[in-house]
Amino acid sequence: MQIQKNIPLAQYTTFKIGGPAENFVIAKTIEEVQEAVSWAKEHDQEIFVFGGGSNLLISDSGIKGLVIKLDLQILEFEENKIKVGSGVLLSYLLNQALEHELIGLEFAAGIPGTVGGAVRGNAGTYGRAMSDVVTKINYLDENYLLQEMSVGQANFEYRHSIFKEKKYLILKVELELAKGDLVAAKKLVQERLAYRQDTQPNQPSAGCIFKNIAFSDQETEDLKSRGIEVEKFLEHHKIPAAYLIDRAGLKGKTVGGAQVSEKHANYIINTGTAKAEDVVILSSLIKQQIRDKYNLQLNEEVQFIL
Ligand SMILES: Cc1cc2nc3c(=O)[nH]c(=O)nc-3n(C[C@H](O)[C@H](O)[C@H](O)COP(=O)(O)OP(=O)(O)OC[C@H]3O[C@@H](n4cnc5c(N)ncnc54)[C@H](O)[C@@H]3O)c2cc1C
């Protein structure tokens, strides 16, 4: 296992932003993860783990301590069950599931990043998410001991899991899918990918910056009185952050190299020279404007590591 020094992290993120990792290692097996953890303990270093870097904004000054890129490439099929390493790309898992005539993961079409990152953030689209297919998770706990939990123990909610509450390292995940209409599933995946092509920017970004805002039936009248067309959002009971940001006239708003996408208002894109600071200032500005205009609080979906 080779610990590298001062590795620029921008190259490992989809935002193409981020200063150097003081110490850096790519861990491909559970043993390598445990070796990296021991090294960090011996050298009294904090540990930061990541996967595909597609939900991260990393500080311009980088990350101190040991940064571990979790790259566990396990993939085992047993009837409807799949055991998958946390470093496996979600897109690859989806293709392999369809290859094995298993459906239920179509919601993941077009979501970048790894299985580990997807489980931690309960990644999803159209009202479905990882919590709908995950059955078991193998992880290292805060004492770096190997543990296993069932889906019921993972505190899954909208873009949330216990892995956002605790510094656990996800190593391997078990999913359960189903046999079904493969032609329809493949068609749906193609449609979703095409829709993303039409509606999402292809410049560097970390996806949706803010979470959509959930609301209850009791809140609809109040939201209407704030000028929000809630009737449009009754299917998932969530107000799209993009809707609010667009209506606040913020598309195209720029700070340094960071810009609110003209194509999708809940994306901040890197126009080429963006610094993390630009993104932080722009996202604060957006939050302020939405507070002023709608008296609503936006919360980041992207993990700001500052
Ligand atoms: C163009 C684009 C479109 C996107 N569309 C969607 C979408 O439709 N739906 C959606 O939900 N998300 C979307 N995202 C966001 C992102 O792809 C997901 O959040 C993804 O699941 C992140 O996975 P990752 O491996 O890249 O995580 P990373 O960015 O590497 O890490 C994210 C967080 O998870 C932690 N982490 C990563 N791996 C592990 C692990 N094994 N154990 C413990 N902690 C870990 C990291 O410490 C960090 O805090 C999009 C992003 C982009 C760039």
Ligand 1 close to Cβ of residue 120 (< 6 A): yes
Q: Which is it for strands 81-85 and 169-176: parallel, antiparallel or unpaired?
A: antiparallel
CATH 3.30.465.10 domain range(s) in the chain: 75-183
Residue 230, both tokens: 């809630």
In the reported structure, the alpha carbon of residue 218 is separated from the centroid of ligand 1 by a whole-number distance in angstroms of 32
CATH 3.30.43.10 domain range(s) in the chain: 4-70
CA-CA-CA-CA torsion sign (89, 95, 97, 100)? negative
Reported as a single tens digit per residue, the pLDDT across 218-238 is 999 999 999 999 999 998 899
Ligand 1 close to Cβ of residue 87 (< 6 A): no
Ligand 1 close to Cβ of residue 52 (< 6 A): yes
Ligand 1 close to Cβ of residue 118 (< 6 A): yes
In the reported structure, the alpha carbon of residue 227 is separated from the centroid of ligand 1 by a whole-number distance in angstroms of 33
pLDDT above 90 (res 260): yes
Task: Give the right CATH number for 75-183 from 3.40.50.300, 3.30.465.10, 3.40.50.620, 3.40.30.160.
Answer: 3.30.465.10
Residue 76: CB atoms within 10 Å: 11
Mean pLDDT of 281-286: 98
DSSP-assigned letters across all residues of 112-155: -SBHHHHHHTT-EETTEEGGGTEEEEEEE-TT--EEEEEGGGS-
Q: Which amino acid is at 169?
A: L
CATH code linked to domain 4-70: 3.30.43.10
Reported as a single tens digit per residue, the pLDDT across 268-283 is 999 999 999 999 999 9
Q: How far is CA 289 from CA 277, 282, 283, in A?
A: 18, 11, 10
Model confidence at 1, in pLDDT bands (50, 70, 90)?
confident
How far apart CA 237 and CA 27 sit, in angstroms, is 40
Task: Mark residue 207 as left, alpha or beta (left: phi above 0; alpha: psi -120 to 50; beta: remaining).
Answer: left
- Closest to 91 (Cα-Cα) out of 112, 72, 71: 112
Architecture per CATH, domain 202-305, reads as: Alpha-Beta Complex (3.90)
Residue nearest to atom 27 of ligand 1 (CA): 117
Reported as a single tens digit per residue, the pLDDT across 97-156 is 999 999 999 999 999 999 999 999 999 998 899 999 999 999 999 999 999 999 999 999
